[in-house]
Structure 1
């Protein structure tokens, strides 16, 4: 599959590196072509030969699937470069770093409204780039979307993750809020991982089950 990244930062490089290793063709796109070239070189040096660099426009045109990995405040504008019929993976989190709340809720939904015909899928927003550089086997990756969810689920599996169906795009705001909550707790010194030790047991009493 041909994948373009809109952005040449840490998240784009981490995920693109894994997809190249899985056999996909990737173009790293950025406003600064030199930075995109450097990111592509690092991916190639790490064992990924099927990677090249270009502008944001070139990467948007290149990818059947496009990873949107730019600051959230420009996400809607940059997503407008993607043609109808293609799939955009939104991994952004619009955080207000003063109190770790959402600065602009529902970025994924805003993209879908602003760019008609593009399949927007929310995924990969709950972990930092360091996780995606060396993802643990079996890591659950929630996905929200109305179209092309199966395509993104395949890309999750390609990096050793487990796709978790999290509902339609209308639920993407919940993924974004979950990221804000978790990051705020982590910055405050809390143990986010310890919050969900056995969700099956926790919800078993309130969810309908077999009698």
Structure 2
């Protein structure tokens, strides 16, 4: 399928690389044109403006740090209206590891409201290194990826993209559940900043497990 990648950072690079390898056609936009062009060359795709990339895709991935989201949404305008959108972002500040979004609302819902598209929250609970695993296998089992959204077509396409990186899709509800996935990401990010291995962020040693039980 045609995928518009909005953002040219690490998550865009990692997921785009996996999807290009799966045979999808990609177009990318980034705040730094040279980074977007480098990714397009890597994938055998094309680079363009945020508006062009949004209009190109049958589905779009928005992979933009929360600080740059308002500017990105302004450039996208209404180009994603009615389209499926995958949101892998987390509105989490890294001093106290709390959500910076409006209380009771998720970034996914804000993106949906701003674009008029159909947003699915997915890929937000693992660091990019996990998505580079081909496939992401832990204890001989595929990584389970929770995702949520309110549009059946967007959910079906996202399920396919999760499967394309070798993971197990797990639908967890409509877009209102994105708030819970983002809150969970705040916990994950705090653990990563605390030194946990991104590949085993929840694994505890026997001693630390005992400490937790106490």
Task: Give your verdict on TM over 0.5.
Answer: yes
- Offset of 1:32 from its aligned partner? 2.4
Across the two proteins, how many residue pairs are aligned to each other? 188
Structure 1's 30 and 99: CA in aligned 2 closer, same or farther, altered over 3 A? Answer: same
Aligned counterpart for 1:193 among listed residues 187, 199, 202: 202
- Write the mapping of 1:90-101 to structure 2, written as runs, cut at 5 A: 90-101=87-98
- Offset of 1:77 from its aligned partner? 4.8
For residues 138-197 of structure 1, give each alpha carbon's deviation from its aligned partner in whole angstroms, at most 9, with x where no partner exists: 2111101001111100111111111111111001010000010122133234673227xx
Whether contact under 8 Å (1:68, 1:75) holds in the other structure is no
Partner of 1:20: 20
Give the SS at the match of 2:124: coil
The whole-number CA distance in structure 1 between the counterparts of 2:34 and 2:195 is: 37
The whole-number CA distance in structure 1 between the counterparts of 2:193 and 2:31 is: 30
- TM-score calculated relative to the size of structure 2: 0.81
- Write the mapping of 1:113-152 to structure 2, written as runs, cut at 5 A: 113-116=113-116, 118-134=117-133, 135-137=135-137, 138-147=142-151, 148-152=154-158
Say if 2:160 is the partner of 1:154: yes
- TM-score calculated relative to the size of structure 1: 0.82
Superposed structure 1 runs of 4+ greater than 4 Å apart: none
CA RMSD of aligned residues (A): 1.8
Structure 2: gaps of 5 or more residues? 205-214
Aligned counterpart for 2:52 among listed residues 58, 63, 76: 58
Structure 1's 120 and 76: CA in aligned 2 closer, same or farther, altered over 3 A? Answer: farther
- Offset of 1:31 from its aligned partner? 2.7
Give the SS at the match of 1:96: coil
Partner of 1:34: 34
